[in-house]
Structure 1
Amino acid sequence: MDRQKLQMTAGALMLFASQALGQTAGDTADSLMQRLKGVAPADVLDQSTLMADDAAGGMKVLREGTNGWTCMYPGTDPMCADAEAMKFLHAWMMKEDPPKTVGFVYMLLGDEGASNSDPYATGKTADNHWVAAGPHVMVVGAGAKPLLDSYPTEVPANAGQPWVMWPGTPYAHLMLPTE
């Protein structure tokens, strides 16, 4: 993914996030690394491209990486995504068809919540199946579709079991709890 598209995707994620907790326009690569500590294996995070919000509400590259991963803290949901996952996130944000590839996202610090049924919900409602996921990884992209048929589309009562998030949409993906 080229740098401009990377920044646009990360900026869209930031704008889409319902809250900007944990995010400051004054981030440095070092301060962001401290806040992202534990979001992904250290060797992924240590060599990744780091992105943070800027004063204009977009995203800026704080450090160019060398391993194909991008780590950021959009809103309340810190993550590290590989290049194919960044393409998926871009497609989701732009409401485009997802890539036919498979991408991987680390969210080992968990998230603050999202609808399990509506990819564009920005808050909990009576019917959008809101779920706050603990530490997890995601397998995303149209190439992951063959995996999805083997897993439930509702969050299992046993929080440690995998499930499909956003079932029935082009952005359906596999959620794999790590605890």
Structure 2
Amino acid sequence: MDTRLSLLLFAATLFTSSAFAQDDQQALIDQARSAAPSMVSADATVVYRGKTLVEGSNGWVCMPETLPDDNAPICNDPMWMKMLTAVGSKADFTAQGIGVSYMLQGDGGVSNSDPYHPDPMHSHDFIKEGPHLMLIVPKALLEGMTDDPAAGGPYVMWGDTPYAHIMIPVGERE
């Protein structure tokens, strides 16, 4: 299935579409593009709550929020979008290569071990990361890597799930 179509199906299951004023739409586009360097985001597709605001040309997809109203913009390559689609539908996922995602504005916080934690802000392993990159790699490459965000440097998030990935902090946490 085409990555963009997968993204739209994923987004449609999570979000409802709404109408925006032109100024609001530009603010959403700017917010989405702030997730990654302009060399990535300037030509990326921008999607907000299931609606494509800008059709891109480089295969990247940027969104102004990761979850509704979390103010955590994200830009993803096609592999990362496949993984997000799997997370959104609770489907199995196996990394078939390397996937890259940017969150240069930080995130809203999640459980480091459970992508479906019912109350992630109160999980024993809640982490709210500052600016960071995320890498999907074949799971065998994660062996021996820490899952402790406090250890300093990169760490594994959601390690015991099909959605395991490497978190790479590039700035300070809030």
Q: TM-score, normalised by structure 1?
A: 0.80
Residue 72 of structure 2 is aligned to residue 71 of structure 1 = no
Aligned to 1:32: 28
**Matched-pair identity in %:** 37
Compared with structure 1, are the counterparts of its residues 68 and 174 closer, same or farther at alpha carbon in structure 2 (3 Å cutoff)?
A: same
Deviations 1:103-126 (A, max 9, x none): 111001101100001111243365
CA drift at 1:149 = 1.6
- Aligned position for 1:95: 90
Query: Structure 1 residue 12: deviation in Å?
Result: 4.2
CA distance in 1, matches of 2:19, 2:144: 42
Q: What letter corresponds to residue 89 of structure 2 in structure 1? A: M
Query: How far off is 1:27 after superposition?
Result: 6.3
CA contact (8 A) 1:87 1:99 kept: no
CA change 1:73–1:104 in 2 (3 A) is same
1:171 corresponds to which residue? 163
1:154 to 139, 148, 160: 148
Is 1:7 matched up with 2:8? yes
1:107 is aligned to 103
- Which residue of structure 1 lines up, in the alignment, with residue 127 of structure 2? 131
More deviation in 125-134 or 41-50?
125-134
Deviation, structure 1 residue 69: 0.2
Please report the RMSD computed on the Cα atoms of aligned residues, expressed in angstroms.
2.4
Mapped partners of 1:154, 1:27: distance in 2: 43
Q: 2-side partners of 1:95 and 1:52: how far apart?
A: 21
Give secondary structure in 2 for the equivalent of 1:90.
helix
- Aligned partners of 1:151 and 1:176: how far apart in 2? 12
After TM superposition, the runs of 4+ consecutive aligned structure 1 residues lying more than 3 A away are 11-15, 124-128
Q: Name the amino acid aligned to 2:154.
A: P
Residue ranges of structure 2 left out of the alignment (5+ in a row): none
Contact 2:156 2:166 (C-alpha < 8 Å) held by counterparts: yes
Paired residues of 2:148 and 2:156 also in contact (CA < 8 A): yes
Indicate if the aligned counterparts of 1:114 and 1:131 stay in contact, CA closer than 8 A.
yes
8 Å CA contact retained: 1:162, 1:174: yes
Matching residue's letter, 1:169? T
- Measured in 1, the distance between the counterparts of 2:21 and 2:60 equals 19
2:81 paired residue number:
86
Residues 27 and 157 (structure 1), Cα distance of their counterparts in 2 relative to 1, 3 Å cut? farther
Displacement of 1:38 in angstroms is 2.9
Measured against aligned partners, the alpha-carbon deviations of 1:78-97 in whole angstroms (never above 9, x if no partner) come to 10000111001111111111
Residue type matched to 1:155 in 2? P
Instruction: Provide the rounded CA distance (Å) in 2 between the counterparts of 1:10 and 1:144.
Output: 25
Q: Indicate if the aligned counterparts of 1:39 and 1:106 stay in contact, CA closer than 8 A.
A: yes
